[in-house]
Structures are given as structure tokens and as C-alpha cells.
């Protein structure tokens, strides 16, 4: 298999791990296999029980993804003549992927506070991000020489990535603390002046989501105005996935955290992040410029 193809397979496998992890969380199946890891209730194969099957399949997909990532790492480090920057991306992918696995095992074996549980999805997203960036880097060797407005958009993309990550963390924190409420954009029967303390994480997440949506609109407007197809593509896809995030999040609030909307909400998070990462990468300085800077 060509290295570029393998890198995309690796990115997709980590994406599936993310989605399956969200399914485990949203169905409350995290303890489906009991306090056993890597076995499931002391078995290699689970009983035909929903929570056990979901958790076991999550572990199975994680195992398959691990083998793919290790194969990719072996090719990148020992078999293929790749750039040093590609090896750095691969190293970061390995670090966050195995950190994610360690956090997942710790979640099963030892109870953890909501702050740590919320980090699990964030670390998973970082693992996916670096594999995705490696796939993009292997697929697009040459980048343009960006000037003025492009550099400004590149910096804006960096801030958007940061705000997105913080918003994602607050969303995971809301889930793990149970600070859910019906109604959108405000909780039913509340106003900003009468918002109860136990729902403050929910308020903060919604305010962060609003700020993120407004910044994404600005980012999209600046991106589509630039005369570069790759930047325009990133901006358009980013706005699409951000809009879907808002819609799915609203349906979660309206329909009481229904599994369908919760899963769609979780599944589009990495796609929105991917559009930003792609835009960030294609507006990086050329490798020759990076060497001079180093």
C-alpha cells in the first residue's frame, strides 16, 4: 500500500475510534465490560448485551487502529524517505494516540473526575489531528508562497483552532457533569439573569459556541475572498461543518440528548477541526522558509 494511502487509512481509523468513543459515552457503556481491561467481564468475547457489545467493539476498533498506526509509524520511521517534518507529525500522532489509550484504560480501571474525563475526547482529537496532518502533508508536497493577507488568515486559523478545542472541552465537561438542560438557545424557563449555578457549565459552553460560530463566519469570509482554491475549500467546508454543529447541538437540547443528534454532533467535530487543520497547513510557509527560520 502506498504510504499516502496508508496515512489516510490511519486517519480514518482514528476517526472511527473517536466516533465509537462518543457512542460509548452517549450510551453510558463505559463500564459495559466492568472493571476489566483489556478483557470484557473477564472474557475475550462479550455477551450479547448492548453495553458490553458497544464497549467491546470500541476496544476492537481501537486495536485495529493501533495496528494501522504502528504499521504507518514503521513505514515513516524506517522504510520511506520522508521529510523530518513528517517524522515529527508521526511522533506526535503516536504520543497522543497511546496517551488516549492510557486514559481510556484508566477510565475503566479507576474512577476519574469530570475534568479528566472531558480531556479524553480532546486527547483523542489531537491524536486524530496529527495523523490527518500527516496524510495532508504526504498528499500535498508543495505549498504556495503566501503573502500578507494569507499570513493573516493563517494566524486567524490558529486562533480558531484554539477556540474550537476549548469549546470541545467545555462540551465534554457538560456531558460528564450532567449539566444538561432542555431548550435552546436558552434553557427552558430560564434567562441569563436567572440561570441556575449548576447549569453554568452549559451556559459557558453555549457562549463559547456562539463565539466560535461568529469567528468561523469571519474566518470563512476572509478565506473565500483569497485567490487560492485550497484556502477557499477549507473555509467553505469549515463553515458547513460549523453550521451542522450548531444545528445538531440545538436538536440535542430540543429533544433531550437523543442519541442520533448526540452522535451526529460528535461525528462532525473532527470534520470541522479537519477543515481548519487543512487551511492551517496549506498556508504554512514553504519548507525552505522553515529551514531558514530554524
- What pLDDT digit, counting tens, does each position of 134-187 carry? 999 888 754 544 455 578 899 999 999 999 999 998 888 887 777 777 777 777
The DSSP bridge partners found for residue 40 are 43
The yes-or-no verdict on residue 23 having pLDDT over 70 is yes
- Global confidence as pTM: 0.83
253 backbone dihedrals φ, ψ, rounded to 5°? -70, -40
Mean pLDDT computed over 72-94: 90
Choice among 50-59, 116-125, 186-195 with the minimum mean pLDDT: 186-195
The yes-or-no verdict on residue 189 having pLDDT over 70 is no
Q: How confident is the model at residue 290 (pLDDT cuts 50, 70, 90)?
A: very low
pLDDT tens readout for residues 200-240: 888 888 889 899 999 999 999 999 998 888 899 999 999 99
The DSSP bridge partners found for residue 43 are 40
Best mean pLDDT range from 81-85, 141-145, 263-267:
263-267
The yes-or-no verdict on residue 34 having pLDDT over 70 is no
Peptide bond into 185 cis (omega under 30): yes
Cell triple for residue 24?
Answer: 460509548
Region for 41 from its dihedrals, namely left if φ exceeds 0, alpha if ψ lies in -120 to 50, beta otherwise:
left
The yes-or-no verdict on residue 255 having pLDDT over 50 is yes
Cβ neighbors of 102 (< 8 A, separation 6 or more) are: none
The yes-or-no verdict on residue 199 having pLDDT over 80 is no
Comparing 254 with 98, the larger pLDDT belongs to: 98
DSSP string, 21-40: HHHHHHHT-TTTT-S-SSSB
* pLDDT attached to residue 269: 92
* pLDDT attached to residue 270: 92
User: How far is the C-alpha of 248 from the C-alpha of 268, rounded, in Å?
Assistant: 9
Mean pLDDT computed over 120-135: 90
Q: Considering the candidates 55, 80, 141, 142, report the single residue annotated as catalytic.
A: 55
* pLDDT attached to residue 47: 67
Best mean pLDDT range from 23-32, 274-283, 284-293:
274-283
Peptide bond into 38 cis (omega under 30): yes
Q: How confident is the model at residue 132 (pLDDT cuts 50, 70, 90)?
A: very high
Mean pLDDT value across the chain: 82
Give the N- to C-terminal CA distance of the chain in Å, as an integer: 33
pLDDT tens readout for residues 88-108: 999 999 999 988 877 777 766
Mean pLDDT computed over 69-79: 92
Question: Known catalytic residue: 150?
Answer: no
Tell whether the torsion through CA atoms of 57, 69, 39 and 121 is positive or negative: negative
Q: How confident is the model at residue 49 (pLDDT cuts 50, 70, 90)?
A: confident
The yes-or-no verdict on residue 250 having pLDDT over 80 is yes
Instruction: Give how far Cα 39 sits from Cα of 188, 207, 237, Å.
Output: 43, 41, 40
User: How far is the C-alpha of 56 from the C-alpha of 149, rounded, in Å?
Assistant: 49
Instruction: Give how far Cα 124 sits from Cα of 24, 131, 191, 285, Å.
Output: 14, 11, 35, 27
Residue 79 and residue 48 in contact, taking contact as beta carbons nearer than 8 Å: no
CA angle 206, 209, 215 (to 5 degrees): 145
Amino acid at each position: 500500500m502506498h504510504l499516502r494511502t496508508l496515512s489516510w487509512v490511519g486517519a480514518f481509523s482514528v476517526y472511527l475510534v473517536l466516533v465509537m468513543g462518543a457512542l460509548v459515552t452517549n450510551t453510558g457503556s463505559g463500564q459495559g465490560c466492568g472493571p476489566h481491561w483489556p478483557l470484557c467481564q473477564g472474557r475475550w468475547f462479550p455477551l450479547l448485551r448492548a453495553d458490553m457489545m458497544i464497549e467491546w467493539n470500541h476496544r476492537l476498533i481501537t486495536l485495529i487502529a493501533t495496528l494501522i498506526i504502528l504499521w504507518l509509524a514503521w513505514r515513516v520511521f524506517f522504510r520511506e524517505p520522508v521529510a523530518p517534518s513528517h517524522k515529527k507529525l508521526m511522533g506526535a500522532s503516536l504520543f497522543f494516540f497511546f496517551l488516549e489509550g492510557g486514559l481510556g484504560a484508566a477510565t475503566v480501571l479507576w474512577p476519574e473526575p469530570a475534568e479528566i474525563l472531558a480531556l479524553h475526547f480532546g486527547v483523542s482529537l489531537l491524536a486524530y489531528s496529527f495523523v490527518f496532518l500527516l496524510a495532508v502533508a504526504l498528499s500535498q508536497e508543495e505549498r504556495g508562497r503566501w503573502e500578507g493577507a494569507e499570513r493573516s488568515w493563517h494566524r486567524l486559523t490558529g486562533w480558531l483552532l484554539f477556540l474550537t478545542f476549548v469549546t470541545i472541552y467545555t462540551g465534554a465537561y457538560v456531558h460528564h457533569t450532567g449539566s444538561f438542560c432542555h431548550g435552546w438557545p436558552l434553557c427552558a424557563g430560564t434567562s441569563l439573569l436567572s440561570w441556575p449555578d449548576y447549569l453554568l457549565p452549559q451556559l459557558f459552553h453555549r457562549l463559547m459556541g456562539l463565539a466560535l460560530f461568529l469567528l468561523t463566519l469571519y474566518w470563512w469570509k476572509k478565506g473565500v475572498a483569497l485567490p487560492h482554491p485550497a484556502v477557499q475549500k477549507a473555509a467553505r467546508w469549515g463553515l458547513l461543518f460549523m453550521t451542522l454543529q450548531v444545528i445538531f447541538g440545538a436538536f440535542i437540547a430540543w429533544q433531550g440528548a437523543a442519541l442520533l443528534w448526540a452522535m451526529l454532533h460528535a461525528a462532525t467535530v473532527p470534520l470541522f477541526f479537519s477543515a481548519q487543520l487543512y487551511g492551517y497547513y496549506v498556508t504554512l510557509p514553504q519548507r525552505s522558509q522553515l529551514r531558514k527560520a530554524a
